[in-house]
Structure 1
Protein backbone atom coordinates (compact mmCIF):
# COMPACT_ATOMS: atom_id res chain seq x y z
CA UNK A 1 0.00 0.00 0.00
CA UNK A 2 1.18 3.49 -0.83
CA UNK A 3 2.34 5.77 1.96
CA UNK A 4 -0.75 7.40 3.51
CA UNK A 5 0.95 10.80 3.47
CA UNK A 6 1.49 10.53 -0.29
CA UNK A 7 -2.16 9.58 -0.78
CA UNK A 8 -3.20 12.63 1.24
CA UNK A 9 -0.87 14.87 -0.76
CA UNK A 10 -2.24 13.43 -4.01
CA UNK A 11 -5.80 14.28 -2.95
CA UNK A 12 -4.76 17.83 -2.01
CA UNK A 13 -2.81 18.27 -5.24
CA UNK A 14 -5.55 17.09 -7.60
CA UNK A 15 -8.41 18.90 -5.84
CA UNK A 16 -6.50 22.17 -5.50
CA UNK A 17 -5.31 21.89 -9.10
CA UNK A 18 -8.85 21.37 -10.36
CA UNK A 19 -10.21 24.29 -8.33
CA UNK A 20 -7.54 26.71 -9.54
CA UNK A 21 -7.87 25.45 -13.12
CA UNK A 22 -11.61 26.05 -12.97
CA UNK A 23 -11.19 29.56 -11.51
CA UNK A 24 -8.80 30.46 -14.35
CA UNK A 25 -11.08 28.93 -16.98
CA UNK A 26 -14.09 30.90 -15.74
CA UNK A 27 -12.11 34.15 -15.96
CA UNK A 28 -11.50 33.49 -19.65
CA UNK A 29 -14.95 32.08 -20.42
CA UNK A 30 -16.69 35.00 -18.77
CA UNK A 31 -14.69 37.44 -20.85
CA UNK A 32 -11.30 38.27 -19.42
CA UNK A 33 -12.05 41.92 -20.20
CA UNK A 34 -14.55 41.90 -17.31
CA UNK A 35 -11.84 40.76 -14.95
CA UNK A 36 -9.42 43.32 -16.40
CA UNK A 37 -11.99 46.05 -15.73
CA UNK A 38 -12.61 44.83 -12.21
CA UNK A 39 -8.86 44.74 -11.48
CA UNK A 40 -8.57 48.33 -12.77
CA UNK A 41 -11.52 49.40 -10.62
CA UNK A 42 -9.85 48.18 -7.43
CA UNK A 43 -6.49 49.73 -8.25
CA UNK A 44 -4.68 46.67 -9.63
CA UNK A 45 -3.25 47.06 -13.15
CA UNK A 46 -5.63 45.37 -15.59
CA UNK A 47 -2.92 43.26 -17.25
CA UNK A 48 -2.58 41.41 -13.94
CA UNK A 49 -5.94 39.77 -14.69
CA UNK A 50 -4.23 37.88 -17.50
CA UNK A 51 -1.32 36.92 -15.24
CA UNK A 52 -3.62 35.67 -12.48
CA UNK A 53 -5.92 33.78 -14.87
CA UNK A 54 -2.98 32.11 -16.64
CA UNK A 55 -1.31 31.13 -13.38
CA UNK A 56 -4.61 29.65 -12.19
CA UNK A 57 -5.30 27.85 -15.47
CA UNK A 58 -1.82 26.52 -16.25
CA UNK A 59 -0.87 26.06 -12.61
CA UNK A 60 -4.04 24.07 -12.06
CA UNK A 61 -3.17 21.74 -14.92
CA UNK A 62 0.39 21.43 -13.61
CA UNK A 63 -0.87 20.42 -10.17
CA UNK A 64 -3.35 17.91 -11.55
CA UNK A 65 -0.59 16.12 -13.45
CA UNK A 66 1.98 16.68 -10.72
CA UNK A 67 4.39 18.90 -12.61
CA UNK A 68 6.47 21.44 -10.62
CA UNK A 69 4.14 20.97 -7.64
CA UNK A 70 6.24 22.88 -5.12
CA UNK A 71 6.83 25.86 -7.43
CA UNK A 72 3.21 26.09 -8.53
CA UNK A 73 2.06 25.79 -4.94
CA UNK A 74 4.26 28.73 -3.92
CA UNK A 75 2.72 30.77 -6.77
CA UNK A 76 -0.76 29.88 -5.49
CA UNK A 77 0.21 30.97 -1.97
CA UNK A 78 1.34 34.32 -3.39
CA UNK A 79 -1.94 34.66 -5.36
CA UNK A 80 -3.99 33.97 -2.24
CA UNK A 81 -2.02 36.44 -0.15
CA UNK A 82 -2.62 39.04 -2.88
CA UNK A 83 -6.35 38.29 -3.00
CA UNK A 84 -6.72 38.44 0.76
CA UNK A 85 -4.69 41.61 1.26
CA UNK A 86 -5.94 43.58 -1.74
CA UNK A 87 -9.61 42.60 -1.74
CA UNK A 88 -10.95 40.19 0.82
CA UNK A 89 -9.45 41.29 4.14
CA UNK A 90 -11.58 44.43 4.26
CA UNK A 91 -14.83 42.41 4.15
CA UNK A 92 -13.75 40.01 6.90
CA UNK A 93 -13.32 36.28 7.23
CA UNK A 94 -16.92 35.43 6.34
CA UNK A 95 -17.72 38.41 4.12
CA UNK A 96 -20.21 41.22 4.43
CA UNK A 97 -23.33 39.81 2.79
CA UNK A 98 -22.45 41.33 -0.58
CA UNK A 99 -19.06 39.78 -1.08
CA UNK A 100 -17.47 36.54 0.10
CA UNK A 101 -14.86 36.76 2.79
CA UNK A 102 -11.39 35.30 2.74
CA UNK A 103 -12.15 31.94 4.36
CA UNK A 104 -11.93 30.03 1.06
CA UNK A 105 -8.79 31.90 0.04
CA UNK A 106 -7.26 31.01 3.41
CA UNK A 107 -8.14 27.32 2.91
CA UNK A 108 -6.64 27.36 -0.61
CA UNK A 109 -3.54 29.07 0.76
CA UNK A 110 -3.14 26.44 3.49
CA UNK A 111 -3.53 23.60 0.97
CA UNK A 112 -0.98 25.20 -1.35
CA UNK A 113 1.44 25.86 1.52
CA UNK A 114 1.22 22.21 2.60
CA UNK A 115 2.05 21.10 -0.95
CA UNK A 116 4.86 23.67 -1.21
CA UNK A 117 6.51 22.08 1.84
CA UNK A 118 5.80 18.42 1.19
CA UNK A 119 5.41 18.07 -2.57
CA UNK A 120 3.35 15.23 -3.99
CA UNK A 121 5.03 12.50 -6.01
CA UNK A 122 2.32 9.85 -6.24
CA UNK A 123 1.07 9.61 -9.84
CA UNK A 124 3.02 12.73 -10.80
CA UNK A 125 5.06 13.82 -13.78
CA UNK A 126 7.71 14.99 -11.31
CA UNK A 127 8.19 11.41 -10.09
CA UNK A 128 9.25 10.42 -13.60
CA UNK A 129 12.24 12.76 -13.29
CA UNK A 130 13.00 12.14 -9.62
CA UNK A 131 13.48 8.38 -9.71
CA UNK A 132 15.60 7.21 -6.80
CA UNK A 133 17.68 4.15 -7.61
Structure 2
Protein backbone atom coordinates (compact mmCIF):
# COMPACT_ATOMS: atom_id res chain seq x y z
CA UNK A 1 0.00 0.00 0.00
CA UNK A 2 2.93 2.36 0.71
CA UNK A 3 4.20 2.19 -2.86
CA UNK A 4 0.70 2.86 -4.21
CA UNK A 5 0.32 6.01 -2.10
CA UNK A 6 3.81 7.23 -2.99
CA UNK A 7 3.22 6.44 -6.67
CA UNK A 8 -0.04 8.40 -6.70
CA UNK A 9 1.53 11.37 -4.91
CA UNK A 10 4.53 11.53 -7.26
CA UNK A 11 2.38 10.89 -10.32
CA UNK A 12 0.04 13.75 -9.46
CA UNK A 13 2.95 16.10 -8.68
CA UNK A 14 4.65 15.38 -11.99
CA UNK A 15 1.43 15.68 -13.98
CA UNK A 16 0.68 18.99 -12.28
CA UNK A 17 4.15 20.38 -13.01
CA UNK A 18 4.17 19.14 -16.59
CA UNK A 19 0.70 20.49 -17.29
CA UNK A 20 1.64 23.83 -15.72
CA UNK A 21 4.61 24.07 -18.07
CA UNK A 22 2.39 23.11 -21.01
CA UNK A 23 -0.74 25.15 -20.30
CA UNK A 24 0.39 28.10 -18.16
CA UNK A 25 4.04 28.78 -18.90
CA UNK A 26 3.59 27.42 -22.47
CA UNK A 27 6.17 25.25 -24.22
CA UNK A 28 7.98 28.24 -25.73
CA UNK A 29 8.05 30.03 -22.37
CA UNK A 30 9.42 26.89 -20.72
CA UNK A 31 12.08 26.60 -23.43
CA UNK A 32 13.04 30.25 -22.90
CA UNK A 33 13.35 29.68 -19.17
CA UNK A 34 15.61 26.67 -19.73
CA UNK A 35 17.77 28.77 -22.04
CA UNK A 36 17.98 31.51 -19.40
CA UNK A 37 19.53 29.05 -16.93
CA UNK A 38 22.02 27.68 -19.46
CA UNK A 39 20.24 24.66 -20.95
CA UNK A 40 19.28 24.24 -24.60
CA UNK A 41 15.65 25.22 -25.18
CA UNK A 42 14.67 21.75 -26.37
CA UNK A 43 15.32 20.42 -22.86
CA UNK A 44 12.24 22.38 -21.78
CA UNK A 45 10.12 20.48 -24.29
CA UNK A 46 11.61 17.17 -23.17
CA UNK A 47 10.89 18.08 -19.56
CA UNK A 48 7.24 18.80 -20.33
CA UNK A 49 6.88 15.46 -22.13
CA UNK A 50 8.69 13.54 -19.38
CA UNK A 51 6.70 15.09 -16.55
CA UNK A 52 3.33 14.49 -18.21
CA UNK A 53 4.08 11.00 -19.53
CA UNK A 54 6.07 9.99 -16.45
CA UNK A 55 3.35 11.24 -14.12
CA UNK A 56 0.70 9.30 -16.04
CA UNK A 57 2.84 6.13 -16.06
CA UNK A 58 3.40 6.40 -12.32
CA UNK A 59 -0.33 6.78 -11.70
CA UNK A 60 -0.95 3.68 -13.79
CA UNK A 61 1.89 1.72 -12.19
CA UNK A 62 3.76 1.18 -15.45
CA UNK A 63 7.59 1.21 -15.54
CA UNK A 64 7.61 2.54 -12.00
CA UNK A 65 11.25 1.80 -11.19
CA UNK A 66 12.51 3.24 -14.47
CA UNK A 67 10.43 6.43 -14.30
CA UNK A 68 11.31 6.90 -10.62
CA UNK A 69 15.02 6.44 -11.33
CA UNK A 70 14.93 9.02 -14.13
CA UNK A 71 13.03 11.32 -11.80
CA UNK A 72 15.78 11.03 -9.18
CA UNK A 73 18.31 12.26 -11.75
CA UNK A 74 16.04 15.12 -12.84
CA UNK A 75 15.40 16.24 -9.26
CA UNK A 76 19.08 16.10 -8.29
CA UNK A 77 19.90 18.36 -11.25
CA UNK A 78 17.10 20.74 -10.24
CA UNK A 79 18.35 20.70 -6.62
CA UNK A 80 21.77 21.86 -7.80
CA UNK A 81 20.23 24.55 -10.02
CA UNK A 82 18.22 25.90 -7.08
CA UNK A 83 21.00 25.48 -4.50
CA UNK A 84 22.21 29.06 -4.95
CA UNK A 85 18.77 30.28 -3.83
CA UNK A 86 19.05 28.75 -0.35
CA UNK A 87 17.08 25.97 1.31
CA UNK A 88 13.46 27.12 1.31
CA UNK A 89 11.53 26.73 -1.91
CA UNK A 90 9.63 29.93 -1.02
CA UNK A 91 12.88 31.92 -1.44
CA UNK A 92 13.23 34.09 -4.51
CA UNK A 93 13.98 31.75 -7.42
CA UNK A 94 13.03 28.71 -5.32
CA UNK A 95 15.42 26.90 -3.00
CA UNK A 96 16.47 23.27 -3.14
CA UNK A 97 14.14 21.97 -0.40
CA UNK A 98 11.32 20.78 -2.70
CA UNK A 99 13.43 19.13 -5.44
CA UNK A 100 15.59 17.39 -2.82
CA UNK A 101 12.46 16.00 -1.16
CA UNK A 102 11.13 14.88 -4.55
CA UNK A 103 14.47 13.17 -5.33
CA UNK A 104 14.34 11.22 -2.07
CA UNK A 105 10.68 10.33 -2.61
CA UNK A 106 11.39 9.11 -6.14
CA UNK A 107 14.42 7.14 -4.89
CA UNK A 108 12.20 5.49 -2.28
CA UNK A 109 9.65 4.56 -4.94
CA UNK A 110 12.41 3.19 -7.19
CA UNK A 111 13.42 0.92 -4.30
CA UNK A 112 9.83 -0.08 -3.47
CA UNK A 113 8.70 -0.70 -7.05
CA UNK A 114 5.17 -0.69 -8.39
CA UNK A 115 3.57 -2.64 -5.57
CA UNK A 116 0.56 -4.90 -5.89
CA UNK A 117 -1.89 -2.42 -7.39
CA UNK A 118 -1.43 -1.27 -11.00
CA UNK A 119 -3.22 -1.46 -14.33
CA UNK A 120 -0.94 -4.28 -15.47
CA UNK A 121 -1.04 -7.80 -14.05
CA UNK A 122 2.01 -8.62 -11.91
CA UNK A 123 3.52 -10.91 -14.56
CA UNK A 124 4.10 -7.82 -16.76
CA UNK A 125 6.21 -6.05 -14.14
CA UNK A 126 9.53 -7.33 -15.48
CA UNK A 127 11.53 -4.23 -14.59
CA UNK A 128 9.24 -2.80 -11.97
CA UNK A 129 8.91 -5.46 -9.24
**What's the TM-score, normalizing by structure 1?**
0.86
Match of 1:50 in 2: 45
- SS at 1:125's partner residue? coil
Q: 1:99 aligns with which of 93, 111, 120?
A: 93
Between 1:35-44 and 1:89-98, the stretch displaced more is 89-98
| Equivalent-residue separation in structure 2 for 1:69 and 1:32 (angstroms) | 26
Compare CA radii of gyration and give the structure with the larger one. 1
Between 1:45-54 and 1:93-102, the stretch displaced more is 93-102
Match of 1:63 in 2: 58
**What's the TM-score, normalizing by structure 2?**
0.89
Which residues of structure 1 form unaligned runs of 5+? 1-6
Match of 2:32 in 1: 37
| Equivalent-residue separation in structure 2 for 1:130 and 1:76 (angstroms) | 19
Kept in 1: contact 2:14–2:54 (CA 8 A): yes
Match of 2:19 in 1: 25
Kept in 1: contact 2:89–2:98 (CA 8 A): no
Between 1:62-71 and 1:102-111, the stretch displaced more is 102-111
